[in-house]
Structure formats: structure tokens, C-alpha cells
């Protein structure tokens, strides 16, 4: 195993927190991975990894070696991609995590075009609404909805989504519809829980400023599809991107509430770690996602 292969192995061990998982990910025997890291530590004269029965984590020296190794590997990949006739095409495994409804609506139906253009890239796709730890889970980039808060990530905004407030006809029959913003607190919501454990408020642009209202509710969810399903059952008001409920609004299973009020547009961004910004695989996928999402509104 050469030095670059050992660097790749070391980086995957740090990211996955496991020798066996990293070895399986790189199609190596576990004994080979163990021997390679021991030889690396011997050559460098420092301990790079703390090993317990359940987890492997980097020492301070190991963390420094990891940060530099990721950058070196990205530089090597970038250099190789730029050499030769037109440069070598991006290749290798790309791990991405996509917000579920965006993926099903816009990304997955067009994925064959990406793979036709870059046949040497293999994709490993996760989907959901949770906040993924990109470095620890070894994820190259994510597609997420909402304002960016993680300064450790690089973000590229690729779309903005128009939001609507909705309720089921059964909810309106039982509770009526709010006539205005001041009437809203007397209603209940299906609450979507943010990563901080608190429900997202309902936001409206009033006089150039955003006013937020948090509503009580008997149901809270962390999944976008569950959010819509609960709203269709009349369990409360919801506020979400219009594309997600276009079918329900057309069919009448959901009604737009407070159409005279404007909710702020919701940004859609691709996020990736600082250290991976030079990877050709990440770069071409980010550019492709931006093209796919350019028509979204």
C-alpha cells in the first residue's frame, strides 16, 4: 500500500470511526488496514488514533494529519484531472445526502443524465431531513433547505422556494380559517421540529420585516412527508414550500390559508466541507445540482 492509499485509508477510518467499516468501504482486508496504520504511526513516530472497543477517534496529531491528508488527496485528484488530453474524467465514489422531497421531485428523475456524463463516478445516496455530520459520516456533500448556520461548511445557494400556509378542509370545517396574522395564535399547527429541538415558527414578511409566530400543536414531526400527511388529516396548519403540496392544492385535499400574506422564500443550498472543495467529483456534482435546481421556484 503506497502513501496515498494509506492516507485514504486513514481518512476513512477517522470519518467512519472504525477500522472494519473503513476497510470494508475500501474493499480491504481488516488485517491489512490495521497493519497499514500501525506502520504509518511507526514511520511518523506519533500515535494518530485512539482505539476503544466501540469507536476509533483521532488524537490531536491524528486530527492534524487528517486535515492535511484530505487537502493533499484533493490536490492530487485535482492535478490528475487537469492533465492529459482534456484532463482525466472525475472518478470514484461520491457520497451525497439529499433532502427527500427535493430528491424525489427534481434530482432522482434526472440522475441518469449525470451518470451518463460521468460514467466513472459511482453514487451513494442518502435521503432525509436530518442534520448529517458530513465529516464524521464521510459524506461529500448535502442538498438542504433553509438558512445556513454551519460555518465549517461551504455553501452554494442553488434555488429559492416559494412558501405557502395550508390546512385541510376538515381542519377549516372544525376550526375555521385565520383571517389575518393576529388571528393565527388561536389556531394549532403540525409542528416541524428543528435540529435544536424547537418547532419552526410560521414566518411572514410584514412591512419589509419578518414576523414569526409559533403555534401550539398536538403533533410534531421531523419528516417532510409526515408533515404533509398530518396536515391532510386535519391535524393543524403547515407552512412549507409550495412545490411539495402542488398536487394536494390542485386536488383540494389542502387549502391555501392567508393567501394575502407573503412568507419569505426558503433557500436551497449544496453544502460540503472546506477540505473537500477541490475534489473534481464534488465540483461536477455541485455544478450539476445547481443546473437541476435552477428551474425550481
The dihedral sign for the CA sequence 19, 25, 31, 37: negative
Domains of the chain: 3-81 (1.10.10.10), 92-153+272-293 (3.40.190.10), 163-264 (3.40.190.10)
Residue 250: half-sphere exposure toward Cβ, Cα within 13 Å: 6
How distant, in Å, are the alpha carbons of 13, 54, 67 from that of 17? 5, 9, 15
How distant, in Å, are the alpha carbons of 15, 72, 91 from that of 140? 11, 16, 14
Cell of 147: 438558512
Q: CA–CA separation, 61 vs 96, rounded Å? A: 28
Q: Name the maximum alpha-carbon separation found in the chain.
A: 74
Tell me the average confidence (pLDDT) per consecutive run of 10 residues in the chain, 297 residues long.
88 87 87 92 92 84 88 75 62 85 91 93 82 67 76 77 96 95 94 88 94 94 93 97 94 96 91 67 87 78
Cβ–Cβ < 8 Å for 151, 231 = no
Closest CA to 79 of 276, 286, 279: 279
Residue with cell 470514484: 92
Q: What is the pLDDT of residue 85?
A: 47
Closest CA to 7 of 21, 20, 17, 22: 22
The pTM is what? 0.69
Cβ–Cβ < 8 Å for 205, 264 = yes
Q: How many residues does the chain have?
A: 297
Amino acid at each position: 500500500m503506497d502513501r496515498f492509499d494509506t492516507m485514504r485509508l486513514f481518512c476513512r477510518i477517522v470519518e467512519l470511526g472504525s477500522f472494519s467499516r473503513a476497510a470494508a468501504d475500501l474493499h480491504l482486508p481488516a488485517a491489512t488496514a490495521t497493519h497499514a496504520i500501525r506502520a504509518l504511526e511507526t514511520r511518523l513516530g506519533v500515535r494518530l488514533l485512539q482505539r476503544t472497543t466501540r469507536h476509533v477517534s483521532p488524537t490531536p496529531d491524528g486530527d492534524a494529519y487528517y486535515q492535511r491528508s484530505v487537502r493533499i488527496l484533493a490536490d492530487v485528484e485535482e492535478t490528475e484531472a487537469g492533465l492529459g488530453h482534456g484532463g482525466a474524467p472525475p472518478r470514484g465514489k461520491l457520497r451525497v445526502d439529499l433532502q427527500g422531497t427535493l430528491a424525489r421531485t427534481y434530482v432522482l428523475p434526472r440522475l441518469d443524465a449525470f451518470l451518463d456524463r460521468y460514467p466513472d463516478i459511482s453514487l451513494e445516496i442518502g435521503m432525509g431531513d436530518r442534520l448529517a455530520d458530513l465529516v464524521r459520516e464521510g459524506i461529500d456533500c448535502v442538498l438542504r433547505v433553509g438558512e445556513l448556520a454551519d460555518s465549517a461548511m461551504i455553501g452554494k445557494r442553488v434555488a429559492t422556494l416559494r412558501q405557502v400556509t395550508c390546512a385541510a378542509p376538515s381542519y377549516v370545517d372544525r376550526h375555521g380559517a385565520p383571517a389575518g396574522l393576529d388571528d393565527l395564535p388561536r389556531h394549532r399547527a403540525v409542528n416541524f421540529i428543528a435540529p435544536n429541538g424547537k418547532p419552526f415558527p410560521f414566518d411572514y414578511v410584514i412591512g419589509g420585516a419578518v414576523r414569526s409566530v409559533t403555534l401550539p400543536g398536538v403533533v410534531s414531526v421531523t419528516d417532510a412527508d409526515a408533515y404533509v400527511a398530518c396536515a391532510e388529516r386535519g391535524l393543524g396548519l403547515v407552512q412549507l414550500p409550495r412545490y411539495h403540496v402542488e398536487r394536494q392544492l390542485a386536488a383540494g385535499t389542502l387549502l391555501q390559508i392567508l393567501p394575502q400574506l407573503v412568507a419569505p422564500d426558503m433557500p436551497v443550498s449544496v453544502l460540503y466541507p472546506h477540505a473537500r472543495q477541490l475534489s473534481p467529483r464534488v465540483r461536477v456534482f455541485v455544478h450539476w445540482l445547481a443546473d437541476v435546481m435552477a428551474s425550481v421556484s
